[in-house]
Structure formats: C-alpha cells, structure tokens
Amino acid sequence: MCWVIETRLVHQVHRVATTLLAEAAVRPSVPLGALAQLRDFLVVNLRHHHETEDDDLWPRIVAAAPAAEHGLGALSEEHERLDAALDLLAAVNLSSGEVEDGAGEAVGTGLGGGAADGLRAALRDAAVAVRDTVQDHLAHEEPLLLPALRDHISPAEWQDFAQRVIVTTPPVAGHLMVGFLDEAGTPAEVELIPDPPV
C-alpha cells in the first residue's frame, strides 16, 4: 500500500533532516544562514505534519477503528512535547542579518568566534532535543500508525488526506524536501509522493 510507504518515507525525511541539523550546527564551515534555512524548514514542516495527523488523519482512523483512539491520543500528547522542543529550536536567534565568510564566521557584526560558537552550541542543543524527540516519537508512532493506515484508510481517503497536506504545507524552504526525499528513499519510493496541484 503506497500510503504506508509514503508515511515511512516522510518519517525518514524527519529523521535525516533533524540529524543533519543537530550534527551541522557546530561545524564552522556551515554558514549560519544555511542552518537557519534548515531549522525553519524543520520547525514548519514538523509542526504541519503532526497538526495534520492530529486534526485530520487521527479522526479518519478513529472513525473506522474507535479502539485506536487511546493510542492516537497518546501520540498527540507526544506531539505537544515535540511542539515545546520546536519552540526552543525556533527561539535560537539565527536571523541577526550577519553576513558570513566562507569559514562560517560572522563578518562585521561583532559576532566573533566566541559569540558564533555560543550561538552554534545553543542551536545544537535545541536541535538535538528535537532530533531525540522525533526519534522517540516515531518509535512509538509507527507500530500503531502503519498498521492502522493499512487496515483502516482506503486509497480514496489517503488521496484526499495527502492532497490536503500538500495544499496546506507552508512554503518555507520547500526545495529542501526534494533533496531530503532523495536522501531518505529509493527512486521508486520518491515517485509515490504526489505532486502538488497546479
């Protein structure tokens, strides 16, 4: 069933992207602007992903399988913890308008190595918290969600849900999704992801 593969692929994108930010945050060779773009992409997309689950997908599953409500409710509580971690990640100020040189150090802003290092450490700590929360959450979610999708969501329902997700996805660094999909899945799996409506 393609929707199970699509869900696994999107979850793998979340794993890859959160790991990349956590690991790249303290590398001086990675410009702060690139880190800010990745951070913003993650914050927006992770929020949107779990909000569409809570508000749209969970009710569809519960309508078909009322016994799933308790488990899905527990996953929604985990989404609230993820939101708290995302708030901390979003609060790391990477938008002070500095221009960076090739080595990733701020130029002409008073943000020398020490200040930049502190900023990068704060970003890393917040990114690690998000990565770990995502990893733990997906370890709980997938054993419940994937069988529920297989058993209780029809192809038409999935198509409707997937199109709603695509249409409502905020346009924040969307180009990153293309690269992450290629990194996370096989060409055949990536081909299953629906194109946005024109």
pTM of the model: 0.83
User: Does residue 130 lie within any of the structural domains?
Assistant: yes
User: Does residue 101 lie within any of the structural domains?
Assistant: no
- Tally the domains of the chain: 1
User: Does residue 165 lie within any of the structural domains?
Assistant: yes
* Domain of 152, in residue numbers: 2-95+115-191
User: Does residue 75 lie within any of the structural domains?
Assistant: yes
User: Does residue 26 lie within any of the structural domains?
Assistant: yes
Average pLDDT, the chain: 85
User: Does residue 41 lie within any of the structural domains?
Assistant: yes
Best CA proximity match to 127, nearest among 2, 19, 47: 19
Which pLDDT tens digit goes with each residue over 158-196? Answer: 889 988 988 888 887 777 877 787 787 777 777 767 655
Which pLDDT tens digit goes with each residue over 5-24? Answer: 888 888 999 999 999 999 99
User: Does residue 196 lie within any of the structural domains?
Assistant: no
User: Does residue 102 lie within any of the structural domains?
Assistant: no
| Token representation of residue 151 | 């058993």
